């Protein structure tokens, strides 16, 4: 695998971590390995294409489960769901066999989702076990309880604390257990002695069936419930559209198998929750901004006209994201909120100047000439505000597709596109809307607010 990875033209080094260290920070078992792949510094490298090439290398090896993630994506996913993948489906229930059937069916169905990658189920494997099947009739015959046998087995294998000694200022437990050499096979366990209430000694093999078998190497739990896990990543599509398709399959599986409970988590769900919160807080901020503007402007309607920049900025931002092939991620949504604030400031510059012109000269009224004059005088400040902001964001926008720019690049693209549309529409469409309002039956909205004097 290392040789095949190093053969890729964009790979600089390959480092492999195998198994599990005694005091390592990763808690996986010894059957797992992790490759750390460093890419050559190349600004023209397509990161998505590089990941697909790495996936093709691992796909050549049968019976190997693999997933390909960036270092940042790996850490984010582990923090959100405990898994390294972007998307996680948890199947919870009491029947392990039912959980396994649903997990296998889910893995097969979501593997057909367009643009999905690294679909796999959590594999715990099987391990050899020593089974002890107690015989109730034999226990009753010798006057023993099941707990008597279990206590002996626990002491023999896991140990029992029988005393404590003090070394300096700390206490050390003294544990009694049998040496591993005396528990090497089923015959040794059968020979373990039990003391009955009458003081007789009987062997464990006289009151239990003891045999070697195979069973689950581990049973995963969360919140006291047994779970099975299916994980996936986004390949040629964004994580949000892939997760939406997977969610429909999960909903259908939940209806087909009522004995289990299915839940999605991971990066996709975290993004969806963050987008909901961002939308809610943006609407709240929008309402507060409108109230402040209504208190700041002396003329009714100017505060409402500022809100016209919301669609102005959204048009350019969404078009720019579509042209560059970006999805509506959290970074791009933050960019849309940011550009709305900048474009609202430009609108305030223009509308506040209209109010200044009306208040400066007595007898000045709304007219076509006033609207044109105000737009012409605010042209330079509005253009400079937009250009300075745009020039700062151009380097970030040019880094789209590069490692480390997954959040900043969509944000910069959304802001640049929104600035282009909002600036143009603020200097062209907004004055036209003001002129239309002046000449229509809504002209009273632009009158000065009359506050009655106190008697």
CB under 8 Å to 220, separation ≥6 — which residues? Answer: 122, 124, 226, 227, 228, 229
The residues, any chain, with a CB within 8 Å of residue 348's CB and separated by 6 or more, are: 293, 306
Q: Which candidate, 186, 195, 236, places its Cα nearest to that of 213?
A: 186
Is 60 exceeded by the pLDDT of residue 451? Answer: no
Q: Give the pLDDT confidence of 298-355 residue by residue, as tens digits.
A: 776 777 777 777 777 788 888 888 888 777 777 788 888 888 888 888 888 888 888 7
* Assigned token pair, 228: 């099975």
Domain boundaries for CATH 3.30.70.1320 within the chain: 68-125+218-266
| CATH for 68-125+218-266 (3.30.420.40, 3.40.30.10, 3.30.70.1320, 3.20.10.10) | 3.30.70.1320
Q: What is the CATH number of domain 127-216?
A: 3.30.2090.10
Residue 450, pLDDT score? 45
Burial of 370 (0-12, 13-18, 19+ CB in 10 A): middle
Q: Is the pLDDT of residue 411 over 70?
A: yes
Alpha helices per DSSP H over 136-179: 136-142, 146-157
62-66, 103-107, 134-138, 225-229: the lowest-pLDDT one: 62-66
pLDDT of residue 282: 79
For the chain, where do the domains classified as CATH 1.20.1640.10 start and end?
A: 297-446
- Which residues make up the CATH 3.30.2090.10 domain(s) of the chain? 127-216
The residue among 70 and 102 whose pLDDT is bigger is: 102
- Whole-number Å distance between alpha carbons of 249 and 112: 11
Cα 283 from Cα 281, distance rounded (Å): 5
Higher pLDDT: 413 or 440? It is: 413
Among 41-45, 103-107, 222-226, 405-409, which range has the highest average pLDDT? Answer: 103-107
Handedness of CA 106, 112, 116, 121 (dihedral sign): positive
pLDDT at 164 over 80: yes
Note the pLDDT of residue 362: 59
pTM: 0.56
- Say what percent of the chain tops pLDDT 70: 88
Note whether 413 and 321 are within 8 A (CB). Answer: yes
Tell me the average pLDDT of the chain: 81
CA–CA separation, 275 and 235 (whole Å): 22
Residue with the two structure tokens 């140990």: 159
The yes-or-no verdict on residue 67 having pLDDT over 80 is: no
Structure tokens at 359: 């208040």
Q: Which CATH architecture has domain 297-446?
A: Up-down Bundle (1.20)
- Identify the CA nearest to 403 among candidates 41, 66, 36: 41
- Residue with the larger pLDDT of the pair 348 and 85: 348
Q: Is the pLDDT of residue 403 over 70?
A: no
Confidence of residue 78 (pLDDT cuts 50, 70, 90): low
Radius of gyration over every alpha carbon of the chain, rounded to an integer in angstroms = 34
């Amino acid at each position: 695998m290392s040789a095949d990875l190093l053969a890729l033209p964009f790979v600089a080094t390959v480092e492999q971590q195998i198994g599990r260290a005694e005091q390592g920070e990763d808690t996986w078992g010894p059957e797992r390995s992790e490759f750390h792949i460093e890419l050559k510094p190349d600004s023209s490298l397509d990161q998505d294409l590089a990941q697909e090439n790495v996936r093709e290398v691992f796909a050549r090896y049968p019976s190997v489960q693999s997933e390909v993630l960036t270092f940042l994506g790996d850490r984010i996913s582990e923090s959100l769901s405990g898994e390294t993948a972007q998307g996680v489906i948890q199947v919870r229930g009491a029947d392990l066999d039912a959980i396994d059937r649903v997990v296998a069916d889910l893995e097969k169905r979501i593997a057909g989702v367009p643009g999905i990658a690294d679909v796999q189920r959590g594999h715990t494997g099987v391990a050899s076990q020593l089974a002890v099947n107690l015989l109730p009739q034999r226990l009753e015959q010798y006057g023993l309880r099941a707990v008597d046998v279990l206590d002996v087995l626990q002491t023999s294998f896991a140990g029992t604390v029988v005393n404590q000694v003090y070394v300096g200022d700390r206490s050390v437990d003294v544990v009694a257990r049998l040496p591993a050499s005396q528990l090497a096979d089923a015959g040794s366990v059968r020979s373990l002695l039990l003391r009955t209430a009458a003081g007789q000694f009987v062997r464990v093999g006289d009151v239990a069936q003891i045999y070697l078998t195979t069973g689950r190497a581990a049973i995963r739990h969360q919140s006291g419930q047994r779970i099975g896990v299916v994980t996936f990543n986004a390949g040629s599509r964004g994580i949000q559209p892939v997760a939406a398709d997977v969610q429909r399959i999960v909903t259908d599986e939940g209806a087909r198998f009522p004995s289990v409970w299915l839940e999605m988590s991971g990066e996709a769900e975290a993004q969806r929750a963050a987008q909901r919160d961002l939308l809610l807080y943006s609407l709240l901020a929008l309402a507060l901004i409108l109230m402040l503007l209504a208190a700041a402007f002396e003329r009714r309607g100017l505060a409402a006209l500022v809100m016209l920049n919301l669609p102005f900025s959204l048009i350019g931002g969404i078009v720019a994201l579509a042209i560059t092939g970006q999805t509506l991620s959290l970074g791009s949504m933050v960019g849309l909120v940011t550009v709305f604030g900048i474009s609202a400031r430009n609108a305030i510059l223009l509308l506040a100047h209209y109010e200044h012109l009306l208040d400066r000269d007595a007898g000045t009224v709304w007219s076509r000439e006033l609207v044109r004059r105000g737009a012409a005088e605010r042209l330079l400040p509005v253009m400079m505000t937009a250009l300075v902001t745009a020039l700062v964001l151009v380097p970030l926008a040019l880094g789209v597709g590069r490692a480390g720019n997954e959040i900043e690049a969509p944000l910069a693209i959304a802001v640049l596109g929104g600035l282009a549309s909002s600036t143009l529409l603020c200097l062209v469409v907004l004055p036209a809307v003001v002129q239309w309002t002046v000449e229509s039956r809504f002209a009273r909205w632009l009158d000065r607010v009359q506050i009655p004097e106190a008697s």
